[in-house]
Amino acid sequence: MKLLENISLKPYNTFGIDVPARRMAVLEPGDDPSQLLPVVHGRYFVLGAGSDVVFTRAYDGTVVRLDDVHNVTRIGDGMVRAWGGMTMDRLIEWTLQHDLYGAENLSAIPGTVGAAAVQNVGAYGVEAKDVIANVEAYDLQQGAMCSFTAEECRFAYRDSMFKHNPGRYVVLWVTFRLSSDFVPNLSYKALADVPHATAQQMRQSITDLRWSKLPRPEEHGSAGSFFKNPVVDEATYLGIKEKYPDMPEAHPTAMAMYKLSAGWLIDRAGWKGHTQGGAGVWPKNALVLYNTGVCTGDEVTALAGEIVDDVHAKFGITLIPEAIMV
Ligand SMILES: Cc1cc2nc3c(=O)[nH]c(=O)nc-3n(C[C@H](O)[C@H](O)[C@H](O)COP(=O)(O)OP(=O)(O)OC[C@H]3O[C@@H](n4cnc5c(N)ncnc54)[C@H](O)[C@@H]3O)c2cc1C
């Protein structure tokens, strides 16, 4: 395990916010994770690729990271075990090269394999839970390795049991259950007309679609979708729909709840393209807050706070950030 002192976090978060951390511990695949125990006394934070975090101030503690190395093995029929520190996109590229399918709709999400399990990432009709079989994590509370089935992970919309035990588990390995037959998942409306004859084509279509709506991290920092889509009851949905007939149609989910488009609410409230200090609302997608050049975490949280208040005043809905403030 590597230990680094007084390190800038700018290269370690996709928002590009420049704050220092007192210490960073970097674990590699062959390392004994119990080496983490002495360094996590006091304040610490487990960081993946930093694509869903906003650092609001200097981090006076230890940032724990898994080294971003490619480490993936086929362990059985359609089963693939991947290191938590590698990016999901690199893993998906590898799976297609090995004729294994099912994760291609998650292409180009800039996060790690470990965080994909924590966050139950989702895109274009697929969620990580659809392909995860098992998660191996180090329990920093018990000082022991543990293994969880997908059911034990209690996956839900951008949620898992790991999110309800913040800082307790470091996800080291994730096993995915994939298929040797490519069946394109076109359930997401915008995919109806995209080229999808092969898995590679599907992956390219997803990637193109993604970057037509989102800022590329190398050009403008962001955390992707900044807010979760709010889930409301039927009366609330119908009340807003009556007042704003142009609101996109929502369909009831399992519990007869309706998932509304947070992006539409923010856009309708007039925030799309607005900038304030170094932070802004992405002109092509109001769900995304971005770094216009040089921005601080405080500027991002101030803008997010104003949006939350305004959307609440206009629609009676409280938006919840998906991005994590640190
Ligand atoms: C341009 C862009 C597009 C995006 N598109 C999508 C999208 O389509 N769908 C989607 O769901 N998300 C999307 N995201 C958000 C983000 O990529 C995901 O939430 C991703 O899973 C975060 O991964 P990360 O490795 O960057 O984790 P981080 O942002 O570093 O951390 C996220 C959380 O996971 C925890 N964590 C990270 N790694 C571990 C680990 N190994 N063990 C335990 N806890 C850990 C952290 O403590 C934190 O709570 C996007 C982000 C960007 C910038």
Separation between Cα atoms, residue 174 and residue 116, nearest integer Å:
9
Ligand 1 pocket by Cβ (under 6 Å): 14, 45-53, 66, 84, 109-112, 114-116, 118-119, 121-123, 162, 169-171, 214, 217, 222-224, 324
Measure Cα distances from 67 to 3, 36, 215 in Å: 12, 14, 25
Indicate which residue of 158, 160, 203, 299 is catalytic.
Answer: 158
Contact 100/179 with Cβ under 8 angstroms?
Answer: yes
Structural domains in the chain, sorted by start: 2-66 (3.30.43.10), 72-210 (3.30.465.10), 219-325 (3.90.78.10)
Could you list the beta-strand ranges (E) of 28-168. Answer: 44-47, 53-54, 59-66, 72-76, 79-83, 122-123, 126-127, 132-139, 144-149
Separation between Cα atoms, residue 305 and residue 321, nearest integer Å:
10
Measure Cα distances from 191 to 70, 105, 228, 287, 314 in Å: 30, 10, 21, 20, 32
Residue 322 annotated as catalytic:
yes
Helix, strand, coil % in the chain, rounded to nearest 5: 25, 30, 45
pTM of the model: 0.92
Render each residue's pLDDT in the chain as its tens digit; 326 residues: 999 999 999 999 999 999 999 999 999 999 999 999 999 888 999 999 999 999 999 999 999 999 999 999 999 899 999 999 999 999 999 999 999 999 999 999 999 999 999 999 999 999 999 999 999 999 999 999 999 999 999 999 889 999 999 999 999 999 999 999 999 999 988 888 888 889 999 999 999 999 998 999 889 999 999 999 999 999 999 999 999 999 998 878 777 899 999 999 999 999 999 999 999 999 999 999 999 998 999 999 999 999 999 999 999 999 999 999 99
Q: Whose CA is nearest to atom 1 of ligand 1?
A: 224
Please state, as a whole number, how many other Cβ atoms lie within 10 Å of the Cβ of residue 98.
13
20: exposed, middle or buried (Cβ count in 10 Å: 0-12, 13-18, 19+): middle
Angle, nearest 10°, between helix axes 199-213 and 88-97?
A: 160
Side-chain-facing half-sphere of 31: CA atoms under 13 Å: 21
Separation between Cα atoms, residue 62 and residue 21, nearest integer Å:
7
Q: Beta 122-123 vs 126-127: how paired, if at all?
A: antiparallel
Contact 150/134 with Cβ under 8 angstroms?
Answer: yes
Q: Radius of gyration (Cα) for the chain, nearest Å?
A: 20
Q: Whose CA is nearest to atom 45 of ligand 1?
A: 115
